[in-house]
Amino acid sequence: MATIVQPVPTTAVEARPRVYRGLWEWVTTVDHKKIGILYGVTAFAFFLIGGIEALLIRLQLAVPNNTLIDPETYNQLFTMHGTTMIFLVVMPLSVALFNIVVPLQIGARDVAFPRLNALSYWIFLTGGIFLNLSWVTGHAPNGGWFGYAPNTERLYNPGPGIDFWAMGLLVLGTASLAGAFNFIVTILNLRAPGMTMMRLPVFTWMTLVVSFLIIFAFPVITVALLQIFIDRNFGTNFFVVQNGGDPLLWQHLFWIFGHPEVYILILPAMGVVSEIVPVFARKPLFGYAVVVYSGVAIAFVSYGVWAHHMFATGLGPVGDAVFVTTTMAVAVPTGVKIFNWIATLWGGAIRFPTPMLMALGFISMFVIGGLSGVTHAVAPSDWQQTDSYYIVAHFHYVLFGGAIFGLFAGIYYWWPKVTGRLLDEKLGKLHFWLMLIGFNVTFGPMHWLGLNGMPRRYFTYLPGMGWDTWNLVATIGAFIMAASILVFLHNAARSLRRGAPAGNDPWDGRTLEWSIPSPPPAYNFAVIPHVRGRDDWWLQKHPHLHGAEVEEAAELRSAEVEVQVAGHKVAETEAPSAPSRSSPDAADDAHGQIHVPDPSYFPFITAIGLTLFGAGFIYGLWITGLGVLLMLYGIYGWCFEPING
C-alpha cells in the first residue's frame, strides 16, 4: 500500500504551512492544477472586461458621427481592449491549460518549479490589476496596444497612461518568462519513463515550442518598453527624432517581439485541436511527426517575418521582398497542419460534442483568417489593406476564430478532468452556434469595410462613405457574441453546482490525463506510469489496435493509497486503475513516499513586491522601495524555507 506523506518541517525560517483550507489554500498553493484554475478564472474575468471594452467600441461605431464616447476615451478603450485580450486573456488562458494538462500528459506529479509557477500566476494577477487601475485613475493608456513612438513619448502623451502600460507589461512579462522556463524544464526533465519526445502529446509539444518563443521574444519587448519608459521619465532619446532617435526603431523592436507573440497566441490552441480531433474521430493524429515539426518550423520562421507589419513604412523594395518571401513561407507549415487535421477526420468515426464543435470551428475560421493573412503577404496590395478594417478582420479571425475557439475547445474538453463534472451539452452547443454566428456577423463585414477604405483606430466616421450599414451589422454581431458568453457562464455555474459526475475518461480519450480520476488527486499518479507508445492510454484500452510499437499488454490493477500528514493517516483513497509496470518509481511508491510539494506564501509576497516596485515609478519611489523590501523578504524566505522537512 502506498502512502502519501505530508512532511513535517524540522528546521524552518518560518514554520512551513502543512495543510491549508479555504482562501489561504489558494494563496499558498503550488499545485499546478490549482494554479491552472486560478489562471483560468482570472483570465476569464479579464476576458469579460476586454469584451465590455469591445462592446463599447462597437456601440460608438454603430452609427456615423456618433457622440456616445469621446475620442480620448475611445482611444483608451481600443488600447486596453487589445492589451487585455492579448496579455491578460489569450496568453493566460493558454497557460491555464499548460498548467493543468502538461504534467498530467507527461506522467509527472507537478511542474519542475512549483513555487515559480505560483509566482507566475501572482505576478499575472497583480500586474493585470495594476494595468487596469489606470482606468480607475482616469488615465488608461491611449497609444494603442502597439504603442508607436513618438506618439507615446511624454511630449505627445503627457499623462501617466503610457507609463501604466509600459510598466504593467514589463511586470507581466516576467511572469511569462518564468512560466516559459518552468515548462521547458518540466517537459524536458519530468517525463515519465518511456515518454520519449516523439511520444509526447501534441499539446505538450506546442507548450514546449511556445515556451521557447516566449524566451526569445519577450526580452525584445522588454528592451523596447524600458526604452520608452526611460525616454518618458529619464530624458533619453531612443525614439525622439530631434535628438537623434528613430521611431522606426520602436516599430522594429515591437514587431520582432510582436510577430512571434501572435504564434505564442495561436500555437496552444492548435495544440488543443491536435488533441481533440483524434479523440473525437477515434483515430490517431494523421502525420504526428509532421504536425510537430510544422509547429517547430512555424516558430523558427516566425522570427523572420516581422516587417510585414511595416510594409507601409518605406523599407524599400528589397526589404519588402524579403519579408514577402518569409511571410509566404510561414504559411506552408501552417497549411500542412490544417491538412493533417482534415486527414485525421477522414476515415474516422466522428462524434460532435461541444469540444469537437469548438475545434472544428477553429479549423474553419482559422482557414479564413490564414488566407486573409496570405493576402497581406502581397506587400503592394497590403499598402491598401494595412491599418484598415481588413486587418482588423484578419487578426480577429485568427485570434478569436482561432485562438478563442481553440481555447474554448480546451476548456470544454478538460473541464470534466479539472472539476470532476460534465458541462451541459445542449448549453454547450447553444454557446457554440451563437458564438460562431455572432463572430462571423461581427468580423466578416470588416473585410469589406477595409477594402472600402475604412481605417482602423478611428473613433468616428463620416456618413456617406458607404460604411454605415456594415458597421451597424458588426455591432449587432458583437452583442450576439456577448450573449453566447453568457450562455457559457451559465453552463459553467450550473456544472459546478449540479453537473453530472464525469468519471475518469468521459470522452474515451487517448492520452494519460484520462487514466486518472477526475478531479485528479493531489499527487496525480499513484504510480508513475511506464509509457509504451504514443497515445499510451488508448493503447492500454485497446492493446489490439496498436499501430506503433507497443510492449506487452498490461493488467489493470487497483491499489489502495493512504494519505498521511506528519505520520498520521488523514485519508484513504483508491488509486486510479493505472496498470503498474516496473519502473524506478515503483520501488519508491512501494515505500509509500510520494513527495508532494509543500505550499508556500513567498511567491505571493514576491509578486506583490514586484508589482509595487513597478508602480512606484509612477506613484512615488517610496512605493518602489517598499516593493524592493517585500521582494527581498519573499525571495529570502523562498530560498531558505525547508523542502519537505
Q: Is 457 in the site for another protein (CB under 8 A)?
A: yes
Cβ at position 64, least distance to another protein in Å: 8
| The residue type at 602 | F
CA distance 269 to 275: 10
The residue among 546, 535, 551 whose CA lies nearest residue 203 is: 535
Stretch in the footprint of another protein (CB under 8 A) among 40-48, 91-99, 345-353, 473-481: 345-353
378 binds another protein (CB under 8 A): yes
Which residues, numbered 135-154, are part of the site for another protein (CB under 8 A)? 142-144, 148-151
Q: Per rule CB under 8 A, is residue 359 in the interface with another protein?
A: no
Give the sign of the dihedral formed by CA 234, CA 240, CA 245, CA 250: positive
Which range binds another protein by CB under 8 A, 94-102, 323-331, 409-417, 477-485?
323-331
User: How many other C-beta atoms can be found within 10 angstroms of the C-beta atom of residue 622?
Assistant: 9
453 scored as a contact of another protein (CB under 8 A): yes
Rounded Cα gap, residues 120 and 38, in angstroms: 11
Query: Which of 345, 635 has the CB closer to another protein?
Result: 345
Binding-site member from 455, 519, 543, 592 for another protein (CB under 8 A): 455
Of the candidate residues 137, 196, 384, 469, the single one contacting another protein (CB under 8 A): 384
Query: What is the spatial distance between Cα 247 and Cα 258, in angstroms, rounded to a whole number?
Result: 16
Under the binding rule (CB under 8 A), the answer on residue 198 touching another protein is: no
Question: Torsion angle of alpha carbons 634, 637, 639, 642, nearest 10°?
Answer: -150
Per rule CB under 8 A, is residue 336 in the interface with another protein? yes
Of the two residues 535 and 589, which places its CB atom closer to another protein in the complex?
Answer: 535
Tell me: does residue 3 bind another protein (CB under 8 A).
Answer: no
Binding mask 200-219 for another protein (x = CB under 8 A): --------------------
383 binds another protein (CB under 8 A): yes
Q: Cβ distance 66 to 132 under 8 Å?
A: no
Contact status: 372 vs another protein (CB under 8 A): yes
Say if CB 173 and CB 218 are below 8 A apart.
yes
State the nearest-atom distance from the C-beta of 176 to another protein, in Å: 26
Interaction of residue 549 with another protein, rule CB under 8 A: no
Residues within window 54-83 making contact with another protein, judged by CB under 8 A: 65, 70-72, 75
The torsion region of residue 347 among left (phi > 0), alpha (psi -120 to 50) and beta comes to: left
Is the CB of 451 or the CB of 553 nearer to another protein?
451
- Per DSSP (E only), the strands in 241-313 are none
* Alpha-carbon gap, residue 495 to 630, rounded angstroms: 40
Which CB, 174 or 385, lies closer to another protein?
385
Residues 573-632 touching another protein, rule: CB under 8 A, are: none
Number of residues that bind another protein (CB under 8 A): 96
Contacts for 317 with CB less than 8 Å, ≥ 6 apart: none
257-296 positions binding another protein, by CB under 8 A:
281-284, 286-290
320 lies in the site for another protein, by CB under 8 A? yes
Q: Report helix angle 247-281 to 91-105, nearest 10.
A: 40
Contact 508, 279 (CB under 8 A): yes
Check binding of 461 to another protein (CB under 8 A). Answer: yes
Q: Which helix (H) or strand (E) holds 565?
A: strand 560-565
Interface with another protein (CB under 8 A), residue from 19, 235, 351, 572: 351
Among 223, 462, 486, 632, binds another protein (CB under 8 A): 462
Q: Does 554 bind another protein (CB under 8 A)?
A: no
The smaller minimum CB distance to another protein, of residues 129 and 343, is found at 343
The CB-of-281 to another protein minimum distance in angstroms stands at 7
C-alpha cell at 60: 460608438
Q: Strand 560-565 relative to strand 568-574: parallel, antiparallel, unpaired?
A: antiparallel
Per CB under 8 A, the segment of 3-11, 111-119, 308-316, 624-632 that binds another protein is 308-316
Helix, coil or strand: residue 595: strand
> Could you give phi then psi for residue 159, rounded to 5 degrees?
-75, 180
Q: With CB under 8 A as the contact rule, which of the stretches 200-208, 333-341, 473-481, 570-578 interacts with another protein?
A: 333-341
CB atoms within 10 A of CB 177: 18
Does the footprint of another protein cover residue 242 (CB under 8 A)? yes
Q: How far is CA 215 from CA 87, 110, 175, 254, in A?
A: 15, 21, 11, 15
